[in-house]
Chains A and B, each alone.
Chain A
Amino acid sequence: MSTSVMVIGAGPAGLQAASTLSHLGFDVTLVEQQDYLGGAVARHQYQVLMPDFSSGPELLSRLIERVDNDSHITVYTGTQVEEVSESHDIFTIKLSGANQKTLQSQAVVLATGFDHFNPARDGKYGYGLFPDVITGAELEEMFAKGPIRRPSNGEIPQSVAFIYCVGSRDRQVGNTYCSRVCCAVSAKQAIELREQLPKARISMFYMDVRTYGLWEDTLYWRSQEEAGVVYVKGRIAEVTEQHGRPVLKGEDTLVRGPFEWPFDLVVLAAGMEPSGGTREMADKFQVSLESHGFIKQAGAIHNASLTDHPGVFVAGAASGPKAIEDSISEGDVASLAVFEYLKAKVTL
């Protein structure tokens, strides 16, 4: 009998896990609730990826082709996990949606990812109120669709502000963690914007710049050196509007003190939260969440993919904010952990 493993969620982490599990000899079912594959990268049509400015569509087609061309992987899109039961270490999983079946799996990888923090939940940014205040994900969609214009009037923006840490590092909204990628993604986006807007003022309003590791000079320094981006240390307290332009209010904590500063376009670096699907699957598969609501990595630092439920593994942003490269690596880590777990039970 072949051994089957279910991967839930087909973002970068889930796609990688499905393919690696198949290489390791398992039959894989990849379940995705949307009717497309690729997770956040597909949803927001990321064109150019942080950190190396490689192509988002190319990455996706590589990940997706491998899955599509693999006879040991069955892909169910538009499909949800309805019900889970378990006996003798075998999960019986009832699917609903486009594929209404009941399957058995010996192990499960949760790759259910993140949702963007919805900035409308924090009234001070005027998101949803002022049309020229958009999220970083919406900026990615704008890059994909065509030239950057002000949503309010279709004009070319002469000034663009990025507001860091929206929905992250903030007890008021309940998210006290750092979302890890938004500093670097914002720097990448500013560099891209510069190509389209050679004369615009581009300002970053930050509390700390966390372009950690190799991203420090390749993104943070480069955005200043090559793209003339200006960094202002002061977290934005409030966005208002005057004469049809968003106005940023804050304290320049290092240099100039109080400011009220109008911009044509304001980009909110909205953070990452555990997705609804992540919470739901944690509940159905009875795995614990850590204190911020992500899936708890019960193996702590020795194995990122172990949950506290034997046979259930986790990969990618479902266990905390992380970049695509880390999510993909975790797809592999989870596959190897599945291998180790199952090899004791069955002969492959």
Chain B
Amino acid sequence: MSEEAVVTHHLRLDPEDVGEQDAESLLDAIKSDLRYEEVIHGCLNCGVCSGSCPSHRFFDYSPRIVVQTVLSGDAQAVKDMMDEYIWACAQCYTCAMRCPFHNSPGGLVMIMREVAVWRGMEAVHRLLKPYGRVLLKVLSIGNQLTPDMIQPDFFPDWGPKIPWSSTDLAIKRKAIPVYTLQVTTSAWRVSPETSYELYTIYEETGVFRLIEQIDPNLYEVVSDMVEDLRDMIESSR
């Protein structure tokens, strides 16, 4: 087999690639993602995905055009899409349920978003701004939503019971007969050892480097946290 004939699928989260934003290299990262062949087989240009897509109905967004643009191989056009266009997708996967070619345009968008995040694209700085608190939770304890984050004003779509649920939180959580759930600042009790392992993974895989790049302030907070925890764990050993 010739050298070129071997398609190599790299782990898309190659720590070496953090920050690399050359258009060709972005497209290459998308197409060589392990999941790419599962989500895109070809495309009939039929529009069933867009016709099914809630975002297509309300925004200038068509999953068919995302698929066609990626297939066209126009790296610059793909890069342009990653700045704003693809972020209109709601990740509902109705397109994947309906596509007659068994593609998953939503899955392609997911890959593109992950590449955009990994490469620290400008769009990601903007888009992640409102998620500082969620990111901090994810980075520190591996939870994304915790009971104390549920404020009625922020979650009107969770229904009329939400104001009631968010009052007297500590008492309500105490009533849950599972020991690990009787907390309010995390979804369940997270041991310091768990966080310690989590930090090691983030470090090895380049996640911390990524955070440093897209949100330096957050990175500073997280670094302090990591250092304190490590001191604590290592001195107790």
A residues bordering B, Cβ < 8 Å?
A: 124, 165, 169-172, 207, 233-238, 249-253, 257-258, 260
Contact B51 A250 (CB under 8 A): yes
Contact B100 A249 (CB under 8 A): no
Contact B56 A172 (CB under 8 A): no
Contact B46 A172 (CB under 8 A): no
Contact A251 B47 (CB under 8 A): yes
Known: A172-B100, A235-B100. A257 touches B62 (CB 8 A): yes
20 A-B contacts (beta carbon < 8 Å): A124-B98, A169-B44, A170-B100, A171-B100, A172-B98, A172-B99, A172-B100, A207-B44, A207-B46, A207-B47, A233-B47, A235-B48, A238-B51, A251-B62, A251-B64, A252-B47, A253-B50, A257-B56, A258-B50, A258-B56
**Cβ of B171 to closest chain A Cβ, rounded Å:** 46
Contact A171 B52 (CB under 8 A): no
Contact A251 B50 (CB under 8 A): yes
Chain B residues within 8 Å of A252, by CB: 47
Interface string of B48-70 (1 = CB under 8 A from A): 11111000110000101000000
B residues bordering A, Cβ < 8 Å?
A: 44-52, 56-57, 62, 64, 97-102
Centre residue among A124, A170, A260 by max chain B CB count within 10 A: A170
Contact B51 A234 (CB under 8 A): yes
Chain B residues within 8 Å of A258, by CB: 50-51, 56-57
In the bound assembly, the distance between CA atoms of A278 and B214 in angstroms comes to 62
**Cβ of A46 to closest chain B Cβ, rounded Å:** 28
Chain A residues within 8 Å of B101, by CB: 171
Q: Per a CB cutoff under 8 Å, which of B45, B52, B97 touches A253?
A: B45
Known: A237-B52, A257-B62. A250 touches B47 (CB 8 A): yes
Chain B residues within 8 Å of A250, by CB: 47-48, 50-51
Known: A251-B50, A253-B45, A258-B56. A237 touches B100 (CB 8 A): no
**Cβ of B46 to closest chain A Cβ, rounded Å:** 4
Known: A170-B100, A172-B99, A251-B56. A235 touches B51 (CB 8 A): yes
Chain B residues within 8 Å of A172, by CB: 97-100, 102
Chain B residues within 8 Å of A235, by CB: 44, 46-48, 51, 100
Contact B51 A249 (CB under 8 A): yes
Q: Per a CB cutoff under 8 Å, which of A170, A171, A234 touches B47?
A: A234
Contact B99 A234 (CB under 8 A): no
Chain B residue at smallest Cβ distance from A206: B46
In the bound assembly, the distance between CA atoms of A260 and B56 in angstroms comes to 12
Chain B residues within 8 Å of A237, by CB: 47-52, 98
**Cβ of A246 to closest chain B Cβ, rounded Å:** 15
Centre residue among B45, B46, B101 by max chain A CB count within 10 A: B46
Known: A207-B46, A257-B62. A236 touches B100 (CB 8 A): no
In the bound assembly, the distance between CA atoms of A332 and B44 in angstroms comes to 36
Chain B residues within 8 Å of A236, by CB: 48, 51
In the bound assembly, the distance between CA atoms of A252 and B99 in angstroms comes to 16
Chain A residues within 8 Å of B64, by CB: 251, 253
Chain B residues within 8 Å of A170, by CB: 100
Chain A residues within 8 Å of B97, by CB: 172
Chain B residue at smallest Cβ distance from A250: B51
Contact A253 B100 (CB under 8 A): no
Chain A residue at smallest Cβ distance from B96: A172
In the bound assembly, the distance between CA atoms of A250 and B62 in angstroms comes to 11
**Cβ of A253 to closest chain B Cβ, rounded Å:** 4
Chain B residues within 8 Å of A249, by CB: 51-52
**Cβ of B17 to closest chain A Cβ, rounded Å:** 33
The list of the 6 closest CB pairs from A to B, nearest first, reads A237-B51, A251-B47, A250-B51, A251-B50, A235-B46, A170-B100
Centre residue among A170, A236, A249, A251 by max chain B CB count within 10 A: A251
**Cβ of B94 to closest chain A Cβ, rounded Å:** 8
Known: A172-B98, A235-B47. 19 other contacts (CB 8 A): A124-B98, A172-B97, A172-B102, A207-B46, A233-B47, A234-B47, A234-B51, A235-B46, A235-B48, A238-B51, A238-B98, A249-B52, A250-B48, A251-B51, A251-B62, A253-B45, A253-B46, A253-B50, A257-B62
Centre residue among A171, A233, A258 by max chain B CB count within 10 A: A258
Contact B102 A171 (CB under 8 A): yes
Contact A238 B99 (CB under 8 A): no
Chain A residue at smallest Cβ distance from B97: A172
In the bound assembly, the distance between CA atoms of A249 and B44 in angstroms comes to 18
**Cβ of B139 to closest chain A Cβ, rounded Å:** 39
In the bound assembly, the distance between CA atoms of A11 and B97 in angstroms comes to 37
Known: A238-B52, A258-B57. A253 touches B98 (CB 8 A): no
Contact A169 B98 (CB under 8 A): no
**Cβ of A259 to closest chain B Cβ, rounded Å:** 8
Contact B46 A234 (CB under 8 A): yes
In the bound assembly, the distance between CA atoms of A252 and B64 in angstroms comes to 11
In the bound assembly, the distance between CA atoms of A235 and B97 in angstroms comes to 15
Chain A residues within 8 Å of B98, by CB: 124, 172, 237-238
Chain A residues within 8 Å of B46, by CB: 207, 234-235, 253
Centre residue among B47, B64, B100 by max chain A CB count within 10 A: B47
In the bound assembly, the distance between CA atoms of A233 and B44 in angstroms comes to 12
**Cβ of A250 to closest chain B Cβ, rounded Å:** 4
Chain A residues within 8 Å of B49, by CB: 237
**Cβ of A344 to closest chain B Cβ, rounded Å:** 46
